[in-house]
Amino acid sequence: MKVLFATSELAPWVKTGGLGDVAGSLPAALRAQDVDVRVLVPAYPALAQAFPDAVEVARPHWLGGLLPTPGLKQAVTPDGTPLLLLDYPHYFDRTGNPYLGPEGRDWLDNHLRFGLLSRVAAWIGSDASTLDWQPDVIHCNDWQTGLAPAYLRYLPGRLAKSLLTVHNLAFQGLFDHASLFELGLPDASWHLDGVEYHGYLSFLKAGLQQADAISTVSPSYAREIQTDAEGMGMAGLLRHRAARLSGILNGIDTQAWNPATDPHLPNHYGPRRLEAKAANKAGLQVEVGLDLRDDLPLLAVVSRLTEQKGLDLLLQIAPRVLELPAQLVILGSGDHAMERAFASMAHRHPGQCAVRIGFDEGFAHRIEAGADIFLMPSRFEPCGLNQMYSLRYGTPPVVRATGGLADTVVDAADEKHGNGFVFGPATAAALLDAVQRAATAWRDPALWRRLQKRGMARDSSWASAARHYVDLYRAL
């Protein structure tokens, strides 16, 4: 089985969220199931620098519209995964976030940048390809590669089948009508059953419409997105394609996220050496300037700061949470108003609340290890990885019952399976209630140990998800 895994992010080199983590760890798990997988990803500066010896293996040309002729360079990651780097410096030799310019706004040519990525994925899956490797399946991820199934459908010479995995339905890749021509798509594709969506070209809709199969990253989210309330305008289409839609729960990279070996941690620990977690808490308190208190629960957030993550609810109850009493540490970036609100909260509560605005991988690991309780009050969450990192790090999470959070966290009220705290309504009151329950449980060491150990024992590896993907590829 040969699979091209097409992605716009790849951890540890380029990551804005969970898609980067998934692309950085699922391919190795697929290889362990004997899938011959290659990862197609733009040669952003971080990747070009990481693989200076990458060799050009093809130059896809005549791609249509205004699309240029890029290079394809081959490299191999340290874990042995073959990469195809899409080399077109004019599009991808830009530092920072892969989607946003320095002003924090989308690059104006994103339709061409990710249109090229999609088009080259389709080229590799067509008989125009000059590569000596022919994939059976193109595995696309989110809107950035969502156009590949449409190219496979509308252009001649198709050989590969396509699977589109939805990591987040909220990002749809909407562009104006003129981009149809720039992207080299035929007029016939401008249709309700094609790539058109309410007068716009939608990369995501195009993929949902044309892919041979659709998956999303948890069973609950696969159900939720078929409802009008949570389908983000795509529910009708997804219901129509329900027979082709499945939910496969993400795994995590259990090597990168292992408290017993994590190179970012000052003190290693495991389920049988949980005492050593306390030293990480003290280290974290010192690192962020919190009072050195082992008698207060330390609550933590690592997140994109967006509407999705429900952190406005946390802002509303933060004073009450600090009065519990408790400490709070937050790492995140995104919405500027929310960044300012969190920063000013930290300013008002020195020693008790610390906020760092930015993206910092090592710090994220130290928070997972040093905190007592992790907070994820998401309004919606296709899968969520941080709650799984928290479980593995003995840091029971407080989550809203949605998407992958509902599929991974069991409320402590379940005395046999409980590993965290789950609340229902997306309200400040419901979040506060769950946080209070967590803080109370934290004061009961025997109960807390049981919760921690159950979470740490959960199998979050990729093996089972990889088997599901292999079944899907076979069915295609």
Please give the residue ranges that form the binding site for ligand GLC (CB under 6 A). Answer: 17-19, 22, 167-168, 217, 250, 381-385, 404
In angstroms, what is the minimal distance from the CB of 356 to ligand ADP? 8
Choose between 313 and 331: whose C-beta lies nearer to ligand ADP.
Answer: 331
HEC letters along the chain? CEEEEECCCECCCECCCHHHHHHHHHHHHHHHCCCEEEEEEECCHHHHHHCCCCEEEECCCCCCCCCCCCEEEEEECCCCCEEEEEECHHHHCCCCCCCECCCCCECCCHHHHHHHHHHHHHHHCECCCCCCCCCCEEEEECHHHCCHHHHHHHCCCECCEEEEEECCCCCCCEECCCHHHHCCCCHHHCCCCCCEECCEEEHHHHHHHHCCEEEECCHHHHHHCCCCCCCCCCHHHHHHCHHHEEECCCCCCCCCCCCCCCCCCCCCCCCCCHHHHHHHHHHHHHHHCCCCCCCCCEEEEEEEECHHHCHHHHHHHHHHHHCCCCEEEEEEEECHHHHHHHHHHHHHCCCCEEEEECCCHHHHHHHHHHCCEEEECCCCCCCCCHHHHHHHCCCCEEEECCHHHHHHCCECCCCCCCCEEEECCCCHHHHHHHHHHHHHHHCCHHHHHHHHHHHHHCCCCCHHHHHHHHHHHHHC
In angstroms, what is the minimal distance from the CB of 252 to ligand ADP? 9
Which span sits near ligand ADP by CB under 6 A: 16-24, 169-177, 193-201, 229-237?
16-24
Q: Point out the residue whose Cβ comes nearest to ligand GLC.
A: 18
302 binds ligand ADP, rule: CB under 6 A:
yes
Q: Which two tokens stand for residue 426?
A: 């997306």
303 binds ligand ADP, rule: CB under 6 A:
yes
386 binds ligand ADP, rule: CB under 6 A:
yes
Total residues interacting with ligand ADP, rule: CB under 6 A: 17
Give the one entry of ligand GLC, ligand ADP, none that residue 395 binds, where binding means its C-beta sits below a cut-off of 5 to 8 angstroms depending on kind: none
Choose between 334 and 404: whose C-beta lies nearer to ligand GLC.
Answer: 404
Q: Point out the residue whose Cβ comes nearest to ligand ADP.
A: 18
385 binds ligand ADP, rule: CB under 6 A:
yes
Give the one entry of ligand ADP, ligand GLC, none that residue 217 binds, where binding means its C-beta sits below a cut-off of 5 to 8 angstroms depending on kind: ligand GLC
Which span sits near ligand ADP by CB under 6 A: 28-36, 67-75, 202-210, 326-334?
326-334
364 binds ligand ADP, rule: CB under 6 A:
yes
359 binds ligand ADP, rule: CB under 6 A:
yes
In angstroms, what is the minimal distance from the CB of 142 to ligand GLC? 8
In angstroms, what is the minimal distance from the CB of 404 to ligand ADP? 8
Give the one entry of ligand ADP, ligand GLC, none that residue 302 binds, where binding means its C-beta sits below a cut-off of 5 to 8 angstroms depending on kind: ligand ADP
Choose between 37 and 217: whose C-beta lies nearer to ligand GLC.
Answer: 217
Return the residue of 60, 70, 332, 396 that touches ligand ADP, per CB under 6 A: 332
Smallest CA-to-CA distance from 10 within 86, 67, 108 is with 86
Contact by Cβ (8 Å): 318, 347? no
Chain-centroid distance of CA 296 in Å reads: 31
434 binds ligand ADP, rule: CB under 6 A:
no
Return the residue of 17, 64, 82, 219 that touches ligand ADP, per CB under 6 A: 17
Choose between 29 and 432: whose C-beta lies nearer to ligand GLC.
Answer: 29
In angstroms, what is the minimal distance from the CB of 309 to ligand GLC? 9
- 376 φ/ψ angles, rounded to the nearest 5 degrees: -140, 80
Task: Compute the distance between CA of residue 472 and CA of residue 30 in angstroms, rounded to an integer.
Answer: 12
Choose between 30 and 367: whose C-beta lies nearer to ligand ADP.
Answer: 367
Smallest CA-to-CA distance from 87 within 98, 72, 75, 74 is with 72
Which span sits near ligand ADP by CB under 6 A: 178-186, 187-195, 270-278, 327-335?
327-335
In angstroms, what is the minimal distance from the CB of 124 to ligand GLC? 23
Task: Compute the distance between CA of residue 27 and CA of residue 37 in angstroms, rounded to an integer.
Answer: 6
Which span sits near ligand ADP by CB under 6 A: 91-99, 119-127, 383-391, 423-431?
383-391
Give the one entry of ligand ADP, ligand GLC, none that residue 271 binds, where binding means its C-beta sits below a cut-off of 5 to 8 angstroms depending on kind: none
Choose between 179 and 378: whose C-beta lies nearer to ligand ADP.
Answer: 378
Chain-centroid distance of CA 413 in Å reads: 29
Give the one entry of ligand ADP, ligand GLC, none that residue 377 binds, where binding means its C-beta sits below a cut-off of 5 to 8 angstroms depending on kind: none
Task: Compute the distance between CA of residue 99 and CA of residue 244 in angstroms, rounded to an integer.
Answer: 29
21 binds ligand ADP, rule: CB under 6 A:
yes
Axis crossing angle, helix 336-348 with helix 311-322, rounded to the nearest 10: 10
18 binds ligand ADP, rule: CB under 6 A:
yes
Give the one entry of ligand GLC, ligand ADP, none that residue 183 binds, where binding means its C-beta sits below a cut-off of 5 to 8 angstroms depending on kind: none
Give the one entry of ligand ADP, ligand GLC, none that residue 332 binds, where binding means its C-beta sits below a cut-off of 5 to 8 angstroms depending on kind: ligand ADP
Tell me the β-bridge partners of 4: 38, 138
- Mark 235-264 with x for binding to ligand ADP (rule: CB under 6 A) and - for no binding: ------------------------------
Which residues form the interface with ligand ADP (CB under 6 A)?
17-18, 21, 302-304, 331-333, 359-361, 364, 383-386
